[in-house]
Amino acid sequence: MPEEAAPAKAPPMLDAAVAFGRVLRGAGLRVGTDRVVGFARAMEELDAGSREDVYWAGRVTLTSRPEDVTIYDRAFELFWDSGGGARPRPRPKVRFSVPQPDQSVFPPKKTVEKNEGGEEAVKLRYSPIEVLRSKDFALYSPDEFAELNRLLADLRLSGALRRSRRLEPSARGRYDPRRTMQAAMRTGGEAVRHRFRKTRVQPRRVVLLCDVSGSMAPYSRALLRFLHAGVASGAKLEAFTLGTRLTRITKELTTRDPDQALRQASGAIEDISGGTRLGDAVKEFVDRWGQRGMARGAVVVVLSDGWDRGDVAVLAESMRRLNRLAYKTIWVNPLKSAPGYKPLAAGMAAALPHVDVFLSGHNFESLEELARAVAAAAEREG
């Protein structure tokens, strides 16, 4: 009689990676599920018994900024070296705490209480939607990304209007002799009713340039869904990605299915999660699209953390030209929400003087703020 196969067990390294990720989140690092999975996969290829392998696998996959390293080192020492040969170090002023499971937004936690009649009643302790709106995109789970699609479906990025040079029929305004004469021909040459025209009002174009390099990986997925929601709504909007090159993805995002749209966009983007040459990519946009009319009078939004491995002088000059062409330039940096953040990255420092509005884009509430900023910019002239 064949022996029954033993039930599959989760590898111990995966459990340790998940627990270590909780410690890092409690310390203040934005470590999402994808980074934890990447750390566990890296350890499958390395020696889990080697401290150096574990340290560098975690440092490469779980940190993205130089300022993360100090917190990572302290958390690594606390989690992996505790009880052994942990070297004494001056402790920075960072409070470590491990998030409790009931802080997750799915499913909503319930408590059973008795009402005045002595009957048990279920009481919700918080709204999962409200938690999701303020939660950092880097900490989203796959289920929460599905809920984000429903939230983004109600977000309108355009709708603000601008004055056009063209005129349209109106009940009052500028006198229209041509249409008045045409109407008089139908009444025997008698102008029974006079016609008028007024200035046409039309939506202002919005151009989104989204950084998809490796440093933006925790936010690229959510921001690409944001781009898709804007394009699929039918608004006057163009979408591009920035990395080591410029890629136009407006056509790929026109389908209403978010998953299909992202698959099509991922197929078109050849440099996703790669390096960054913001200056070259912005310069290509200005030379190829901006000066030909796409950026003239438009609201241009750059979604990037400002990390640039190219020539920052090229980025500064390209942003200066872009700001002169556009009606308003908005820069969205997810790192801006971090406590004590300062735009010290060379690319961010070079671009900031040529930006009209500087916002964060780390959660849904910040994207709502971005939508209001875009609408306010377009309403200034209307």
Question: How much of the chain, in percent, has pLDDT values that exceed 90?
Answer: 21
Q: What is the CA radius of gyration of the chain?
A: 27
Assign 319 a pLDDT band (cuts: 50, 70, 90).
very high
Per-residue pLDDT, 276: 84
| Model confidence at 282: pLDDT above 90 | yes
Give residue-wise pLDDT tens across range 70-91.
888 888 888 877 644 444 444 4
Least confident of 138-147, 215-224, 340-349, 373-382: 373-382
Per-residue pLDDT, 81: 72
Question: Which is higher by pLDDT, 78 or 289?
Answer: 289
Question: Which is higher by pLDDT, 192 or 279?
Answer: 279
Least confident of 71-85, 116-130, 134-148: 116-130
Q: What is this structure's pTM?
A: 0.64
Longest distance between any two alpha carbons in the chain, whole Å: 104
Least confident of 43-57, 145-159, 277-291, 338-352: 145-159
Long-range contacts of 187-196 (CB under 8 A, 24+ apart): 195/169, 196/169, 196/170, 196/171, 196/172
Give residue-wise pLDDT tens across range 353-368.
999 999 998 899 999 9
| Model confidence at 220: pLDDT above 60 | yes
Per-residue pLDDT, 214: 85
CA distance linking residue 269 with residue 216, whole number of Å: 14
Mean pLDDT over 93-110 rounds to 46
Least confident of 157-166, 188-197, 272-281, 357-366: 157-166
Give residue-wise pLDDT tens across range 36-63.
888 888 888 888 778 888 888 888 888 8
| Model confidence at 333: pLDDT above 90 | yes
Mean pLDDT over 287-305 rounds to 90
**Three-class DSSP labels, the chain:** CCCCCCCCCCCHHHHHHHHHHHHHHHHCCCCCHHHHHHHHHHHHHCCCCCHHHHHHHHHHHHCCCCCHHHHHHHHHHHHHCCCCCCCCCCCCCCCCCCCCHHHCCCCCCEEEEECCCCCEEEEECCCHHHHHHHCCHHHCCHHHHHHHHHHHHCCCCCCCEEEEEEEEEECCCEECHHHHHHHHHCCCCCCCCCCEEEEEEEECCEEEEEECCHHHHHHHHHHHHHHHHHHHCCCCEEEEEECCCEEECCHHHCCCCHHHHHHHHHHHCCCCCCCCCHHHHHHHHHHHHHHHHHCCCCEEEEECCCCCCCCHHHHHHHHHHHHHHCCEEEEECHHHHCCCCCCCCHHHHHHHHHCCEEECCCCHHHHHHHHHHHHHHHHCCC
Give residue-wise pLDDT tens across range 157-187.
765 566 777 788 888 888 888 888 888 888 8
Per-residue pLDDT, 323: 93
CA distance linking residue 251 with residue 253, whole number of Å: 5
Per-residue pLDDT, 11: 57
Per-residue pLDDT, 120: 55
| Model confidence at 94: pLDDT above 60 | no
Q: 257, 228 in Cβ contact below 8 A?
A: no
| Model confidence at 98: pLDDT above 70 | no
To the nearest whole number, what is the mean pLDDT of the chain?
Answer: 80
Mean pLDDT over 210-227 rounds to 89
Give residue-wise pLDDT tens across range 334-349.
988 888 888 888 889 9
Per-residue pLDDT, 118: 60
| Model confidence at 35: pLDDT above 60 | yes
Torsion of CA 315, 316, 319, 320, to 10 degrees: -150
